[in-house]
Homo-oligomer: A and B are copies of this chain.
Amino acid sequence: MKFKIRPATKEDCKEISRMIMELAVYEKMPDQVKITHEDLERDGFCQNPFFECLVAEVPEEHKSTEGFTVVGYGLYFYNYSTWEGRTVYLEDLYVMPEFRGNGIGKGLLSKVAQVGKKKRCVRLNLSVLDWNTPSRDFYAAKGARDLTDSEGWHFIRFDGQNLDNLANEAPED
């Protein structure tokens, strides 16, 4: 199947928002999605955007059963390792189920790697859920390492009231 990968535009945010929800349903946490396409438009298409995004598009004749031609996305941003320098972080990689098996996910992943290399990034990082065997196998087959298994890194998060409490206890300037 023919497909094209291109940088997302502000006009793609409704489609990206739709797929963000589809991915969250797959990850069994749809109730955690609070974001709207307006948020994506504001935060991704401003000066110093908080993220960049690629979308995968198929020709009209291959549109989905529901009529969509934007069928996948890869949303990423730049991080920094104090050990190795610039890195790129792939927050989401998603291809609609009926379009899988056509190399679209691999295409999006490779393109993010290429964009990162152009910015002199030395790592491409991402996160997966432990039960998500298809994704873990997909990344492992391309040479990724699981740093939680091999080095013992755990994700820690402050949010909600805990984050507010921390911020309120900050020393005066």
Indicate whether A81 reaches chain B with its CB closer than 8 angstroms.
yes
Contact flags (1/0) for A146-163 with B, using CB distance below 8 Å?
A: 111101111111110111
Answer yes or no: A75 CB below 8 A from chain B CBs: yes
Interface residue range, chain A: 35 or more
With A142-B158, A163-B124 known to touch, is A79 a contact of B79 (CB < 8 Å)? yes
Q: Does A125 contact B (CB under 8 A)?
A: yes
Q: How many copies does the complex hold?
A: 2
A143 within 8 A of B: yes
The prevalent SS among residues of A at the interface is mixed
A65 within 8 A of B: no
Most buried by B among A29, A39, A92, A167: A167
A residues near B (Cβ < 8 Å) are 5-6, 20, 23-24, 29, 32-35, 39, 43-44, 48, 50-51, 75, 77-86, 89, 91-92, 106-107, 109-111, 113-114, 116-117, 122-131, 136, 139, 142-149, 151-159, 161-171, 173
| CB-based closest 10 A-B pairs | A143-B162, A130-B152, A113-B166, A114-B170, A110-B170, A147-B155, A148-B154, A113-B167, A51-B80, A114-B167
